[in-house]
Amino acid sequence: MTAPIYGRVALIGLGLIASSMAHAMKAAGLAGEIVGYAKSAESRAVALEIGFIDHAADTAAAAVVGADLVVLAVPVGAMEAIAAEIGPHLAPGATVTDVGSVKQAVITAVQPHIPEGVHFIPGHPIAGTEHSGPRSGFATLFRNRWWLLTPVPGTDPEATLRLRHLCEAMGAKVDEMDAPHHDLVLAVTSHTPHLIAYTMVGVADDLRRVTDSEVIQYSAAGFRDFTRIAASDPTMWRDVFLTNKDATLDILGRFTEELFALQRAIRLGDGAHLHAYFTRTRAIRRGIIEAGQDTAAPDFGRAPAASEGTTG
Ligand code: NAP
């Protein structure tokens, strides 16, 4: 056990990410006490029953009173209203962070509501599963995963360092970058792949009606992995695409061009093109394994309850 890094932590939203943070903080003694708020009374009751929060607040404003650290862990589209509500109740010297999957839109939505003397340091843990809600969290979710911080110019370096320590103490590796760069990187590594998975599962669902469940029954590894990604929370992913519009459309445009090139190679029987392409992509997979971001085990290295899943 280390000494607490923050005395009182307020979690706004009590889903996968917030509950995993709470479990990790409790396991390592990183917070003096944890107060939680979620939209529904049911989620607040579940969080109390599991015990990953010490107190539940009836409103977001009440939750942040006296908090040293406030974590906004709600869908990106809900951030602005929450920020407007809590702004007047934030303690001087407190740090506000968020875990949203998109950064520029969150800064635009939240920053104007942060009073003078309160540090706002946006963040994004690159860790997740396709599950959601207060029962889905676990203490090791962030272990060996990246946690990206996107502080705006002029942010107090000591406040950033303290938040960095918390992320590291929860097992994450921390990096800093600016928000537009973050949004472009995530459009490539997460957002566009999710859209492609949603599309592929949608196409197969249409086919299923034709083939009478054969798609489900004989589902092979490639398709099963798509279905796992496409089972991710619809609200969260709706908000990701609504708020990371430009970067996602840019990457999707490039994707479509490549797809047409592959389609043409298939039509023309251009095996050399296909082979060269698949050789290049195989090397990328090797790079991910060498960087420790996945394992080389078969079936994508997934044990039944593995921590690697989808990442927003
Ligand atoms: P989640 O499991 O669906 O939980 C979302 C939580 O936010 C729920 O507790 C929900 O309350 C609450 N909430 C929603 N709207 C609210 C509002 N208007 N006021 C107060 N609470 C509200 O979501 P999550 O996966 O933890 O995602 C949270 C954030 O982390 C999102 O911004 C997401 O982009 C980001 N993120 C997700 C992943 C991932 O893979 N899942 C990874 C990295 C970052 P109820 O329970 O009462 O509905």
Mind listing the domains of the chain with CATH numbers?
6-178 (3.40.50.720), 181-290 (1.10.3660.10)
The overall longest dimension of the chain from CA atoms, in Å, is 67
Q: Find the 161 Cα to ligand 1 centroid distance in Å.
A: 25
Q: Find the 81 Cα to ligand 1 centroid distance in Å.
A: 14
- The reported pLDDT for the residue numbered 306 is 41
What's phi and psi for 178, nearest 5 deg? -85, 160
Provide, rounded to the nearest whole percent, the portion of the chain with pLDDT above 70: 92
What's phi and psi for 95, nearest 5 deg? -110, 135
CA distances from 224 to 24, 130, 191, 220 (A): 30, 13, 18, 6
Per the CB < 8 A criterion, the answer to whether 245 and 108 are in contact is no
Per the CB < 8 A criterion, the answer to whether 68 and 97 are in contact is no
- The reported pLDDT for the residue numbered 298 is 64
Which protein residue has the closest C-alpha to ligand 1 atom 25?
16
Q: Which of 71, 101, 238 to mutate to test the pocket of ligand 1 (most atoms within 8 A of CB)?
A: 101
Q: Find the 223 Cα to ligand 1 centroid distance in Å.
A: 26
Mean pLDDT throughout 256-284? 95
Q: Residue type at 160?
A: T
Mean pLDDT of the chain: 92
Give the pLDDT band of residue 106 (cuts 50, 70, 90).
very high
Is the pLDDT reported for residue 254 higher than 50?
yes
Gap between the Cα atoms of 20 and 9, Å rounded: 14
> What's the number of CA atoms in the CB half-sphere (13 Å) around residue 108?
10
Flag the least confident range among 72-86, 161-175, 201-215.
Answer: 201-215
- The reported pLDDT for the residue numbered 307 is 41
Q: Which of 236, 239, 248, 307 to mutate to test the pocket of ligand 1 (most atoms within 8 A of CB)?
A: 236
Write out residues with Cβ below 6 Å of ligand 1: 13-18, 38-40, 43, 73-76, 78, 82, 99-101, 124-125, 128, 132-133, 233, 236, 310-312
CA-nearest of 158, 198, 187 to 252 is 187
Mean pLDDT throughout 230-256? 95
Give SS3 for 201.
helix
Q: What is the dihedral of CA 281, 199, 106, 39, to 10 degrees?
A: -130
Mean pLDDT throughout 92-107? 98
CA distances from 300 to 96, 280, 285 (A): 36, 19, 11
CA-nearest of 15, 51, 11 to 35 is 11
- The reported pLDDT for the residue numbered 145 is 96
Q: Find the 147 Cα to ligand 1 centroid distance in Å.
A: 17
- pTM of the predicted protein model: 0.92
Q: Find the 85 Cα to ligand 1 centroid distance in Å.
A: 17
- The reported pLDDT for the residue numbered 243 is 97
Give SS3 for 305.
coil
Give the pLDDT band of residue 139 (cuts 50, 70, 90).
very high
Is the pLDDT reported for residue 119 higher than 90?
yes
- The reported pLDDT for the residue numbered 289 is 83
